[in-house]
Amino acid sequence: MTLGEKIFRLRTEHGLSQEAFGEKLGVSRQSVSKWETDQSIPELDKIVAISGIFKVSTDYLLKETDQAAAEMCPRTETAGRGEYRIGQRPHYEYKSKKMIGNLPLVHINLGAGIHRAKGVIAIGTVAQGWLAIGFASMGVCSIGLVSLGLLSLANLAFGLIALGTVAVGVISMGAFSFGIFSLGAMVFGQFAFGASAHGAQVAVGDVASGKVALGYSRASGAYTQISNRQPFDYESACRMIDEQVSSNWLFFKTWAKGMVKRF
C-alpha cells in the first residue's frame, strides 16, 4: 500500500472530506487529492501532522509494505496462503489510480462496519458515484437497500426513475409506488396502474380512482368503466382520456393509452 493509499484510507475511515482534512493541515483540497493519487508527497512536517491526526506512526505512513501494518497488529495466524490478524475486522479496499475529474474510476470499500466509497464506479457500505452500489447509495445509477439517483433500484428507491419495494419518482414501479407515472400493487400518482390505483388523471386496476378510472371490481371518477376482468372499451377510454386530461400531460397521456390497451 502506497503512502497516498494509506492517507486516503485513513481519511475516509475517519469520515473526513478532502476539504476538511486539508483545513486541518493548512493545505488545499487539490494538494490532498494529489497526495492520495501519489502525484506528490507531503512534506515531512505534514507527514508528522498526519500521524498525529490519525494516531499512527510515521513508519506506518512511509513504509510501502505491509510491515508497518503488521507492527500495529503483530498477533497473526496464517491460514492457507493468506494472513489473518487477530482482532482485525475483515476489510477490502481498492482504489484505481485512473482519475476522472476528482474521482477515481473505481473505488471499492467493503468490510465489517461502515465503509464509504466514492468514485465513478463506487461499491461500499455507503456508496456515491455515477454508478453506486451499496447498502446506502447515491448516484446517476444507484443500487442498494436505500438509493437515490436518476435511475434508482432499491428496497427503498428515490429517483427520476425508481424501482423498488417502496419507490418514489417521476416514473416509479414497486409494491408501494408514488410518482407521476406509477405502476405496482398500491400506487399513487397522476397516472396510476396497479391492484389499488389512485391516479389524479388516469387510474387502472382492481380498485381505481381518478378522472378516468378503469377498474375490475370498483372504479370512481368523472368517467368510469368496470370490466369484471373483461377487456376495457379501449376506444371510449382513449376518447375520455383526451377529453378529461389536460394537454400539458401529452407525453404521459400517450403512455396511459398504451397501458389501458395492455390491461
**pLDDT per residue as tens digits for the range 112-126:** 778 899 999 999 999
Q: 202 by DSSP, 3-state: which?
A: strand
* Contact between residue 159 and residue 148 where contact means Cβ atoms under 8 Å apart: yes
Residue 120, domain member (yes or no): no
CATH number of residue 51's parent domain: 1.10.260.40
Residue 108, domain member (yes or no): no
Residue 132, domain member (yes or no): no
| Percentage helix, strand, coil for the chain under 3-state DSSP, each rounded to 5 | 30, 50, 20
Q: Between residues 189 and 76, which one has the greater pLDDT?
A: 189
SS3 for 104-161, per residue? ECEEEEEECCCCEEEEEEEEECEEEEEEEEEEEEEEEEEEEEEEEEEEEEEEEEEEEE
**Final residue in a domain of this structure, among 71, 88, 105:** 88
54 and 160 fall within a common domain: no
- Count the domains in the chain: 2
155 and 74 fall within a common domain: no
- Comparing 26-40, 119-133, 150-164, the range with the smallest average pLDDT is 26-40
User: Per residue in 99-115, pLDDT tens?
Assistant: 888 889 999 998 877 88
152 and 251 fall within a common domain: yes
> Which stretch, 12-26, 202-216, 247-261, has highest mean pLDDT?
202-216
70 and 163 fall within a common domain: no
**Final residue in a domain of this structure, among 48, 67, 88:** 88
Residue 22, domain member (yes or no): yes
157 and 57 fall within a common domain: no
Residue 213, domain member (yes or no): yes
**Final residue in a domain of this structure, among 88, 113, 132:** 88
Query: Which pLDDT belongs to residue 107?
Result: 94
Q: 37 by DSSP, 3-state: which?
A: coil
Average pLDDT, the chain: 87
84 and 151 fall within a common domain: no
User: Per residue in 170-206, pLDDT tens?
Assistant: 999 999 999 999 999 999 999 999 999 999 999 999 9
Query: Which pLDDT belongs to residue 173?
Result: 97
83 and 183 fall within a common domain: no
pTM over 0.85: no
Residue 114, domain member (yes or no): no
All three cell numbers of 194, joined, read: 396497479
Residue 122, domain member (yes or no): no
Is the confidence at residue 74, as pLDDT, over 60? no
Residue 23 domain boundaries: 3-88
Query: Which pLDDT belongs to residue 64?
Result: 62
Query: Which pLDDT belongs to residue 108?
Result: 94
61 and 155 fall within a common domain: no
Residue 102, domain member (yes or no): no
- Comparing 24-38, 73-87, 168-182, the range with the smallest average pLDDT is 73-87
Q: Between residues 202 and 81, which one has the greater pLDDT?
A: 202
Q: Between residues 249 and 63, which one has the greater pLDDT?
A: 249
153 and 240 fall within a common domain: yes
Q: Between residues 166 and 11, which one has the greater pLDDT?
A: 166
User: How far, rounded to the nearest angstrom, does the alpha carbon of residue 242 sit from its chain's CA centroid?
Assistant: 37
253 and 161 fall within a common domain: yes
Q: How confident is the model at residue 258 (pLDDT cuts 50, 70, 90)?
A: very high
Query: Which pLDDT belongs to residue 71?
Result: 43
78 and 171 fall within a common domain: no
